[in-house]
Amino acid sequence: MNSPITIIAEHFEGKIRPVTYELVAFAHEIQKISPQKILVVILETGQTAMADEIAKAAGIDVVSLQHPGLNSYNQEIYVSVLEKWFSKNLFSYLCTAHTTQGMDFAPILSARLNCACITGVESMNRQNSTFFFTRPIFNGKASAKMVSSTPPTILTVQTGIMKFKPGESALAGKVKTESVSPVQRFTRPLGVVRARSDSQTISDADIIISVGRGVGKKENLDLIYRLASLFSKSAVGGSRPLCDLGWLGYSQQIGITGMSVSPRLYMACGISGAVQHLSGIRGADFIVAVNTDPKANIFNMADVCIVEDLTTFIPILIEELKKTPAVGGQP
C-alpha cells in the first residue's frame, strides 16, 4: 500500500504543540517496518506559519487545511473536514495524539471513515508478516497486542513515549494549502479557561519535581515548589492521591489517568511507584526517587535511589543547590 502515514498536527494559540513532533518520531518508527511516505495535515485558519514550521523542522510535506474558526480545536469541524479530505486522500496509518483532542475526534472519524481505530498505542512491531500495536490495559498492569484486520488504521499515540528534536532536518518539506468549504456546526466555543498553577508546563518541562502521599501534610508542598523554582523550565507534578486531596490540580497528575511526561529529570518525592503512576513516566530520561522505604517500587525504575525522609533531605538539597552556580547559586 502506497498511501502515506499521515499525522494530524496539534496546535494551541498559534503554536505547534510538542506532541506533534512525538507523532513525527512515531511515524518514522512505523516507516521502518512499513516504508511509506510521511505527511502532516494541519487544520488552521488564515495562516500557514505553523505548517511552514513543521515542514522546516521535520523535513516533511505538510497540507494546511484552511477552514474558519480553527484558531482553537473544534471537534465538529475536525471530524467533518477530515472526513471530506480523507474520502479523496487515502492514508495507511493516521497518527493522532492520545490527548483530550485526539481521543475526542479519532474514534468518531474512524466510524465515519469505516476503518479501525486503535487507541493509547505505545509501540508498533512486526511478528512474521503481521504488524501489531501495543497498548496498555488494566490501568497499565498489562499490555495488549492489537492488529488491524484491514487498512487504513487510525491510531491515538500515547504522549511522552517518543522523542524528536525539531530542527533536525536539513531539507524542508513542501507546504500545500487547501481551502475547505465551511462545514455545518452545532456548537460554538466560548473560549478557553486556563488552569490555575504551573501544570500547563508539565508536558514541556525539562525538570519535574513530583510529589506523593509521602509529603505528609499540605504545608510540606512548599519544599517541593522551592526545589522546583531553583531550576529553569521546571514544573511540579504529583501522584493521584494528592490531586484527589485537592493539594495539586488534576492537570498536575502524572500517570495513566493523568499526564505522560518525558522530562530530562524526574524527581519522585514520597511516591511509592504504583504501576498507574509509573506508566506516566516511562519517557523520562533520568529518574531520582526519594523514599523512606528501601523496598518502594519506584526504586525499581529510578536511576538514583535516595532512602531518606523527604522533609529532612529536600531542605539540605535546596541549600546545596543554592551553592551551585549552574542552578540557583551565585557565580
Binding site for ligand FAD (CB under 6 A): 139, 212-214, 216, 239-241, 253-258, 270-272, 274, 276-277, 280, 290-293, 296, 309-311
If residue 34 lies in a helix (H) or strand (E), which one and from where to where?
A: none
User: For ligand FAD, which is the closer residue by CB, 235 or 310?
Assistant: 310
* Residue 306 bridge partners (DSSP): 290
The answer for 70, left when phi > 0, alpha when psi is -120 to 50, beta otherwise, is alpha
Answer yes or no: are the C-beta atoms of 242 and 248 closer than 8 Å: yes
HSE of 214, CA atoms in CB hemisphere, 13 A: 25
User: For ligand FAD, which is the closer residue by CB, 20 or 99?
Assistant: 99
Burial level of 31, CB count in 10 A (0-12/13-18/19+)? middle
User: For ligand FAD, which is the closer residue by CB, 20 or 279?
Assistant: 279
Smallest distance from the beta carbon of 243 to ligand FAD, in angstroms?
8
User: For ligand FAD, which is the closer residue by CB, 142 or 190?
Assistant: 142
Strands 15-16 and 11-12 come out as antiparallel
C-alpha cell recorded at residue 86: 480523507
User: For ligand FAD, which is the closer residue by CB, 38 or 274?
Assistant: 274
Answer yes or no: are the C-beta atoms of 323 and 329 closer than 8 Å: yes
User: For ligand FAD, which is the closer residue by CB, 139 or 324?
Assistant: 139
Residue 43: which residues within 8 A CB-CB, separation 6 or more? 8, 65, 67, 70, 77, 78, 81, 82
Answer yes or no: are the C-beta atoms of 115 and 154 closer than 8 Å: yes
Smallest distance from the beta carbon of 294 to ligand FAD, in angstroms?
9
The alpha carbons of the chain give a radius of gyration, in whole angstroms, of 21
User: For ligand FAD, which is the closer residue by CB, 180 or 307?
Assistant: 307
Smallest distance from the beta carbon of 248 to ligand FAD, in angstroms?
10
Smallest distance from the beta carbon of 27 to ligand FAD, in angstroms?
27
Smallest distance from the beta carbon of 161 to ligand FAD, in angstroms?
16
User: For ligand FAD, which is the closer residue by CB, 51 or 256?
Assistant: 256
Quick one: which of 111, 203, 114, 122 has its CA closest to 155? 122
Smallest distance from the beta carbon of 101 to ligand FAD, in angstroms?
19
Smallest distance from the beta carbon of 306 to ligand FAD, in angstroms?
9
Q: How many whole angstroms separate alpha carbon 110 and alpha carbon 145?
A: 19
Smallest distance from the beta carbon of 197 to ligand FAD, in angstroms?
17
